[in-house]
Chains A and B, each alone.
Chain A
Amino acid sequence: MPTLSEAGSKELLGGFGVPFPAEHVVTTAADAVVAAEAVGYPVVVKLGGDGIAHKTERGLVRLNLSAADAVREAAEALLAAATPEDGEVHLLVAPMLRATRELIAGLHRDEQFGTTVMLGVGGILAEAVADVAFRLVPITRTDAEEMIDDLATQALLGEFRGEPAVDRDAVADVLLGLSQAATERPDVASADLNPLLIVDGRPIAVDALVELELEPS
């Protein structure tokens, strides 16, 4: 199944109200520096393209760049790392967000029950911890609120290390946005918001991956 680029995934899901950081899509190292000055340091620079799905595994994400030189150097290295199979590529320049709490959210088409929406505790241990809640789309706001309640790790959602409690309404909005995306775009086979960071108590997705099915079922 084809995947959308990170930028394309964010554009699609952003259209349904999923919050993403303001970021710039550029094609040269020089423009990456201009973009970095605009969003403010530190920044993250990633190589994007329709053929690029697993950026982290390929080392195509450069985090925490805090000066123009570092941005230029990273951008040049990323562009050089592109292979012919990647097709047309671009650079994503985004503010480097810091969060101690990470959630994960997404869409998955279940063989038995059709498209489902998921919320879980994120981070590198997400799959091992597997503190997740699923619902069948479409969901109501009540369903979304109950998904948040279903998570076992409620302590993570309250006030945490000097940070405010998670804005549950805003998390519910993300889930409702995903549900609406699935309903209105039946060609969406899956979606990942991973991680869905909690910054100042509010959710913001810093990566997105949408898989499309060419013939919607």
Chain B
Amino acid sequence: MTRHTPEQFRALFDPRAVLVAGASTHPGKFGFVALHNILSCGYQGGIYATNRDGAAVLGIATARDVAELPDGEIDLAFVCTPAGANPELLKACAAKGITAAFIASAGYGEAGDEGRRAQDELVALAEELGILLAGPNGQGVVSTPAQLCAQIVGPYPPRGRIGVASQSGNLVSAFQNYAGQTGVGISRAVSAGNAAAVAVPDFLEYFATDPETAVALAYIEGVAVGEGRAVYERLRQVSERLPVVLVKGGRSADGQRAAASHTGSLASDDRVFDGMARQAGVQRAATVEQAFDVAATFATQPLPQGNRVAVVTTAGGWGVATADALSQTSLQLAALPDDLRAAIDEHLPPRWSRNNPIDLAGGETRDTVPAVLDLVAGHSEIDAVIFLGIGIQSNEAKLMRRGRFYPDHGLERIVAYHERQDARFAQAAIEASDRTGKPVLVATELAVASPDNPAVATMREAGRLCHASANRAVAALDHLWQRSRWLQRRGLPLG
């Protein structure tokens, strides 16, 4: 299989103009939805469409035939026509200078021997024509720098720095949904479909060269037969350049096998895959939501230099639970340095925990949270901070705002104060991280339970991840540390 050129990937992710082949007037058909989504998400390039009857779709005049379209202007064809029509279509596209095609059409490798033959023929044809062939049977491609949403389903995610490549279109949507929920956005997202010519590792290699992408996030179900070694080498090279977060489906399908050797009987597919991923420096996530958490943390936090973690909390229980979670990872709950304890004493009444977790015990006043976060994150014996208990004041403010006494009895003033404080605390966490170059993670269940909480909203609007729980923050930070250590042990820069 020939490798694709950067120009072809640019045609896919940053096309000058797009053609929707097989645009439909029926709003339930993919050929309608794809055109709708391209027209609706801000894409600034030229938009063309073909329709069998030449009928206007969504106010766009369509062509009956690709031959009627302008020469040398269109880079990407989004193909919704039936499989049988596609060979002729690709030839016509190539004649117009199109160098990338996303094939949404089904009826290929997923549809038995005949479909597989049609797929192989289409791949060979595309290669001959110099067209990068994405799909077939895929959901589409999203590229936020180009405001391009060439997909047959929603959503369109916020812009960001995570590049998504997935063997399942459905999980592309899931990652895009998480991006919308958290505000940690996506640069490119592509469903590999049947991955006939371009597979997930090809997209990851492109992401490693893409200035818009800082983290690669991938879902795969397996590696094509005979390509294991090559995939390993390619993943390792990508990992040297940017974090790769991977979630693999099909773990449970994996059986222990009978083998003559003990080593062989222990060598389940999943354990070998896991070792391969670790060796390649790939961060393998346990679940889909963890994969997004980890990618979003890579996208928004610097890597820790070490594994000594300070937990700063305004609420005792979460602090203890976080210490417990840390003990299950390669991270350490840092021993609180004496000089740091003394420095914090200057800012808090004596009832604070005087230990790590640093439980402020309600001693926080207007300025103490930013001051303590700065002291802790700035200390040379602390590598990362997890900040908990944010949003509590605004949660009460929400109740006050909705209650029947608002705005009287001084409620208007106190509600505004609480909300300002939480926004300020979130801002302080962001600034402490920026100032010290260390990860400062914020976690609260309010990220999910009350997304309009000012603490949560401040994080989201800043494009930072507000972790949905302390455990999830710990799991993500553990992955950051694992990558940091992988890079350090190999003499590679932390980036």
Which residues of A line the B interface, CB within 8 A?
Answer: 1, 3, 53, 104-108, 110, 112-114, 116, 118, 120, 126-127, 130, 132-136, 139, 142-143, 145-147, 150, 190-192, 194, 209, 211
Contact = CB atoms under 8 A, between A and B. Distances in A.
Contacts of B210: none
Given A112-B269, A136-B229, A192-B261, 8 more contacts: A104-B263, A113-B229, A126-B262, A130-B271, A136-B275, A139-B279, A150-B278, A194-B263
A125 to B, nearest CB: 12
B260 interface: yes
Given A142-B489, A146-B278, A113 B264 contact: no
Contacts of B232: 113, 136
Interface of A is mostly: strand
Contacts of B265: 127
A55 to B, nearest CB: 14
A145 B229 CA distance: 21
Contacts of A127: 262, 265-266
A104 B16 CA distance: 58
Nearest to A194: B262
8 contacts: A105-B263, A106-B261, A107-B263, A112-B272, A113-B229, A136-B275, A146-B279, A147-B275
Contacts of B273: 112-113
B233 to A, nearest CB: 9
Interface of B: 223, 225, 228-229, 232, 259-267, 269, 271-276, 278-279, 486, 489-490
A134 B267 contact: yes
A119 to B, nearest CB: 10
Contacts of A132: 266, 271
Contacts of A143: 279
B278 A108 contact: no
A120 B260 contact: no
A108 B279 contact: no
Contact of A135 (B225, B260, B275, B489): B275
Contacts of A116: 267, 272, 275
A106 B223 CA distance: 24
B251 to A, nearest CB: 14
Contacts of B275: 116, 133-136, 147, 150
Rank and list the top 5 A-B pairs by shortest CB-CB distance, nearest first: A106-B263, A134-B275, A113-B228, A112-B228, A190-B261
Contacts of A194: 262-263
Contacts of A191: 261, 263
B78 to A, nearest CB: 33
B228 A126 contact: no
Contact of B225 (A1, A108, A112, A126): A112
Contacts of B260: 1, 3, 53, 190, 211
A108 to B, nearest CB: 4
B261 to A, nearest CB: 4
Nearest to B222: A112
A116 B272 CA distance: 8
Contacts of B271: 130, 132, 134
Contacts of B264: 106, 108, 190
A118 B266 CA distance: 9
A114 B228 contact: yes
Nearest to A178: B263
Nearest to B224: A112
A118 B267 contact: yes
Contacts of A146: 278-279, 486, 489
